[in-house]
Structure 1
């Protein structure tokens, strides 16, 4: 038990920033990213004894972080839909505001452009969004992404290509609208 505790602490020190950044890329909100990070490490702690060593700890933790982030988004979206049909909350903003866009890595003057970019990224399919975030924001190679997502290399390459094409098209439309407003 003590050995597992020290192993867990080592994993936490090594990967907590990675997990936080993955979550932040998905939810664009620091509080939500912190909650997801906590949930990921609770899951890691409880699953440590059953970790099968077929992949590296990094790959395993990435996979958990991605799944927790996607689950968090699904849960939040279902709460919003439920609210529309009558659920009351003390804080209506909680349900009406999809993202208050608190990404600490983005300069204040670039916040609006970044908000538009993440709005468009959030319209991609789950797999396209995941490969794009892992590739372009986390800087992972296609083979690493294939291992994390448990997909073939050709599937990852295809998803990256489709994500970039979709983003180019949607961003061209968004920035045309954005420039007209200014």
Structure 2
């Protein structure tokens, strides 16, 4: 495996996936580094049973979810210790592709997406943000296409409920 070629080919993909999960540039950059360290260290364990892209997607998603969990644990610990600086909002939404006037709306949307269960969040991000096919998402998440479709429908319903509650609080 030519690691440099793999890195150049997939660095944008990994960074964008991480950014969809954590919604801030520094964390996405750190996750991207972590993913490629894992790819480098574990490339011997890649058996080729799935596409290299699928394998890298899985690592990116799992690393992103692990980073979110770690940040959540730190936030809970800080709350227990009353560290006010660490109690600041986890996500300082800063997606480079978002126009200024849309940042607030996008921040609210991603805040709602982050409230979804992990699998629903992953399916929604991979299908609608990353624009992958159901077949690709099924491969990445090791699920059937029917399970992906069902999970997507539940994610949409749950997202609508979350957004309706949020909208109700603002009015």
Please report the TM-score for the alignment, with normalisation by the length of structure 2.
0.95
Contact 2:78 2:86 in 1 (8 A): no
Question: Considering only CA atoms, is the larger Rg found in Structure 1 or Structure 2?
Answer: 1
| Distance (Å, rounded) in 1 between the aligned partners of 2:142 and 2:90 | 29
Please report the TM-score for the alignment, with normalisation by the length of structure 1.
0.89
Pick aligned residue for 1:122 from 114, 129, 150: 114
Alignment correspondent of 1:12: 7
Unaligned runs of 5+ in 2: none
How far 1:177 sits from its partner (Å)?
3.8
Alignment correspondent of 1:131: 123
| Distance (Å, rounded) in 1 between the aligned partners of 2:6 and 2:108 | 34
Correspondence 1:18-37 to 2 at 5 A: 18-37=13-32
How far 1:160 sits from its partner (Å)?
0.4
- The number of residues matched between the two structures is 171
| Distance (Å, rounded) in 2 between the aligned partners of 1:94 and 1:85 | 11
Alignment correspondent of 1:65: 60
Unaligned runs of 5+ in 1: none
Contact 1:124 1:163 in 2 (8 A): yes
How far 1:176 sits from its partner (Å)?
4.3
The yes-or-no answer on 1:172 pairing with 2:167 is: no
Contact 2:123 2:137 in 1 (8 A): yes
Moved over 6 A (4+): none
Cα-Cα RMSD: 1.4
Contact 2:23 2:92 in 1 (8 A): yes
Alignment correspondent of 1:41: 36
| Distance (Å, rounded) in 2 between the aligned partners of 1:174 and 1:78 | 24
| Distance (Å, rounded) in 2 between the aligned partners of 1:59 and 1:121 | 23
The yes-or-no answer on 1:93 pairing with 2:88 is: no
Partner-residue secondary structure (3-state), 1:85: helix
Alignment correspondent of 1:51: 46
Alignment correspondent of 2:77: 82
